Amino acid sequence: MRRVLVLLVLTALPAHAVDWPQWRGPARDGQIPGLPRRHSWPATLTPAWKLNVGAGHASPVVVADRVFVFSREGENELVQSLDLASGRRLWSATYPAPYALNMAAASHGKGPKSTPVVAEGRLFVFGISGILSCFDAASGRLVWRKDFGGQFRRTSPLYGVAMSPVVDRGLLIVHVGGEGEGALQAFDAATGALRWAWTGDGPAYASPVVAEIAGERQVVSFSQSHLVGVAVATGELLWKLPFTTPYAQNAVTPIVSGDAVIYSGLDQPLRATRIVKRGARLAPEPGWENAEVGAYMSTPVLVDGRLYGLSHRKRGQFFSVDAKTGKTLWLSPGRAGENAAVLAGGGMLFLLTTDSELIVAAQGGAAFEAVRRYGVAQSSTWAHPVILEHGVLVRDAQDLAFLRF
């Protein structure tokens, strides 16, 4: 039986300013809107509550006073709704999800990696084996479910589903299928009815974003071997750019800045490509390239014209790059970690490494400046944290904890 460890008796948390309803936040860009600036940071964080939520690396999401967590127990996937103030479980739902783990990913376990999304009172989860489910967020009632076993030979990539679905204007958009065969599909979020499908490639591990580029509202996403732009309304392929990495591990969420798409991958430089109109068609045009840094699994954040991220070079280097020119502004010392979640808000950077260290660092400046470093968990932290005004939600391999600033 799961248990809540209440470490301190606390009054109810003040309401937080903005929900965190999906992968990388409200705008899916790693920015924390409405986070007040702090003039000082405590030497340590104060534990409020901690809950064993099951195995997995899916990031928690928060809407109003509720936290939603996606995990695994045995051969079942588990969805839970928790009270933000106390960690008390409000509802839970399980369903069978047998999965054969690729031993190359054994250290990551069989728990889900895809972050849920909450929209219009519904919670959507995409399991590690490729089961797509919609729940009523208030009650946990199953609304609809899709299993793609009858459509594709494989329903997940080699190392399991990692891409996080996105909801846009009533459409739930997700890349289904497995190695060598799949479809970027849009479903009616309310009913689960299929609205369109682009079948040009299998899925990657990166998550899609929705943006207006060159006058076209589009889904920008990595597939197994391409970076693509697909019309949100129809699923029409607008443009594509070949892109591969060793071991077919396209894993970095693309960043859109004006008409430029910024992207990278294992053993690849950080690049920007402009999407321009040529007659009635869109086409990619080369922009800048920076071979000093490259992102493997960690997605950078764009703030005030600067990109901040973790390069996989030199066993992990935090970096700042000018988003218009690609010029390196600063690099941290090496050996910073295998991977890190990178978020920005309140004038600060929040960098959670997989070694369970949360670094609060200054934005801007001519060099990397860590303001505080906190140990936040007892096991690896692959999931993104949720930074709130008065504390942080941290998910490790088994537990979810709320730590107060």
Contact, 108 vs 382, CB < 8 A?
yes
- Mean pLDDT across the chain: 94
pLDDT number for residue 17: 56
Cut 0.75: pTM above it: yes
Nearest to 318 by CA among 332, 307, 305: 332
pLDDT number for residue 6: 43
Contact, 315 vs 321, CB < 8 A?
no
Radius of gyration from C-alpha coordinates of the chain: 20
Beta bridge partners of 184: 175, 198
pLDDT number for residue 247: 85
pLDDT number for residue 13: 45
Please determine, for residue 43, whether its predicted confidence score (pLDDT) is greater than 50. Answer: yes
Give the CA-trace dihedral at 178, 180, 262, 105, to 10 degrees.
50
Please determine, for residue 5, whether its predicted confidence score (pLDDT) is greater than 60. Answer: no
Q: How far is CA 56 from the centre of its chain?
A: 14
